[in-house]
Amino acid sequence: MRSGVCVAHGGLKLGGLLRVVREVWDARHLTYELARADLIRHTSRLRLGILWWFLDPLVLALIYWGLVDQLLGRGESIHPRYWLFLFLGLIVWKQFAQCLSGCSGVYNRRQGLIKNLAVPLVTLPGSVVVQTFHLFVQAILVVIVFLGISGGVSLGWIQLLGLLGIQFITMFGIGLMVAAPMARQPDLRELVPHFLKVLFYLSPVLYSFGLLQAKLEGSEYLGWLNVYILVHPVGDLIDAYRHVLLDDGVLSLNGWVILVARSALYFLAGCFLQDRFQRHLLEGIR
Partner 1 sequence: MLSAKSVSVRLRKWNDSDGKWHWALRDIDLNLVEGDRLGVVGRNGSGKSTLCRVLAGILRPTQGSVSSQGTVVPLLGFGAALQPELSGVQNVRLMARLLGCSVGDLDHIQDEVVRETELGSWLHEPVGHYSTGMRARLAFIVATSISADVLLVDEALGAGDLAFRKRAMQRLTMFMQKARVLVMVSHQLQEIQKNCNKVVWMEDGKIRSLGATDDVLQQYKEAMHSDRGAG
With contact defined as beta carbons under 8 Å apart, do 56 and 139 qualify? yes
With contact defined as beta carbons under 8 Å apart, do 174 and 96 qualify? yes
12 binds partner 1 (CB under 8 A): no
Sole window of 60-68, 91-99, 106-114, 171-179 interacting with partner 1 (rule: CB under 8 A): 106-114
Q: At 78, give phi and psi (nearest 5°).
A: -90, -45
Judged by CB under 8 A, the residue of 11, 47, 73, 116 near partner 1 is: 116
> Nearer to partner 1 by C-beta: 77 or 116?
116
At its nearest, how many Å lie between partner 1 and the CB of residue 15?
14
> Nearer to partner 1 by C-beta: 59 or 191?
191
Residue 193 CB: number of other CB atoms within 10 A? 12
58 binds partner 1 (CB under 8 A): no
Question: CA nearest 136: which of 208, 18, 53?
Answer: 53
253 binds partner 1 (CB under 8 A): no
DSSP designation for 65: I
Query: What's the CA gap between 183 and 276, in Å, rounded?
Result: 13
Judged by CB under 8 A, the residue of 33, 56, 69, 248 near partner 1 is: 33
Judged by CB under 8 A, the residue of 45, 47, 71, 150 near partner 1 is: 45
At its nearest, how many Å lie between partner 1 and the CB of residue 103?
18
Judged by CB under 8 A, the residue of 22, 74, 197, 286 near partner 1 is: 286
DSSP reduced 3-state for 113: helix
> Nearer to partner 1 by C-beta: 114 or 246?
114
198 binds partner 1 (CB under 8 A): no
> Nearer to partner 1 by C-beta: 44 or 77?
44
Question: CA nearest 26: which of 113, 129, 120?
Answer: 120
**226-to-84, 135, 190, 220, 235 alpha-carbon distances in Å:** 25, 30, 30, 11, 11
> Nearer to partner 1 by C-beta: 120 or 156?
120
With contact defined as beta carbons under 8 Å apart, do 107 and 285 qualify? yes
Judged by CB under 8 A, the residue of 12, 29, 47, 194 near partner 1 is: 29
**267-to-33, 49, 158, 204, 272 alpha-carbon distances in Å:** 21, 33, 24, 22, 9
At its nearest, how many Å lie between partner 1 and the CB of residue 183?
9
Q: At 250, give phi and psi (nearest 5°).
A: -115, 130
> Nearer to partner 1 by C-beta: 99 or 114?
114
Measured torsion, CA atoms of residues 17, 21, 26, 29, in degrees rounded to the nearest 10: 130
> Nearer to partner 1 by C-beta: 8 or 155?
8
Binding site for partner 1 (CB under 8 A): 1-9, 29-30, 33-34, 37, 40-41, 44-45, 111-119, 278-279, 282-286
